Amino acid sequence: ASILVLNGPNLNLLGTREPGVYGVATLEQIVQTLREQAAASGHHLLNLQSNAEHELIERIHAARDEAIDFILINPAAFTHTSVAIRDALLAVSIPFIEVHLSNVHKREPFRHHSYFSDVAVGVICGLGARGYQLALDAAIHLIEQTEQ
């Protein structure tokens, strides 16, 4: 199966960006681990990080034509603002898991609301880079369940 990993604004700076909050792993390191994890169970991982809302939306639209089975998304700050990315995910009706490195619920009140959580298969936050691996594990489990 094909799994698309999407990361929103400022996540290209992981490794140096507020390491106390977001950890020291770079996005490239995180994605490489996910690629290996997907390949180990015979799945294919695709990946896009963008600081632009429209690029994320266009990647989601293209995912439907490519028959992507599942999306893992850390919408970053767009979590708290983007009706448009939410609508794109609903439009293509590809199941997705929402991931955040930090525990958004123990941070500023404006991070407590997500435009994604009520339409996500599940949400993982506060577990750092490992959250992506846990999300991928869950996605693979769900994909293999529906394939049977």
* Residues with a known catalytic role: 22, 100
Q: Please state, in angstroms and rounded to a whole number, the distance separating the CA atoms of residues 27 and 129.
A: 9
Q: Is 74 annotated as a binding residue?
A: yes
100 binds ligand DQA (CB under 6 A): yes
Pick the closest to residue 14 from 128, 122, 115, 145 (CA basis).
128
Binding window for ligand DQA (CB under 6 A); candidates: 23-31, 35-43, 60-68, 71-79: 71-79
27 binds ligand DQA (CB under 6 A): no
Q: Please state, in angstroms and rounded to a whole number, the distance separating the CA atoms of residues 5 and 48.
A: 6
State the Cα torsion 10-14-20-22 to the nearest 10°: 70
79 binds ligand DQA (CB under 6 A): yes
104 binds ligand DQA (CB under 6 A): yes
34 binds ligand DQA (CB under 6 A): no
Q: Please state, in angstroms and rounded to a whole number, the distance separating the CA atoms of residues 33 and 146.
A: 25
Q: Is 47 annotated as a binding residue?
A: no
Could you list the residues known to form a binding site for substrate, using ranges. Answer: 74, 80, 87, 101-102, 111
Could you list the residues known to form a binding site, using ranges. Answer: 74, 80, 87, 101-102, 111
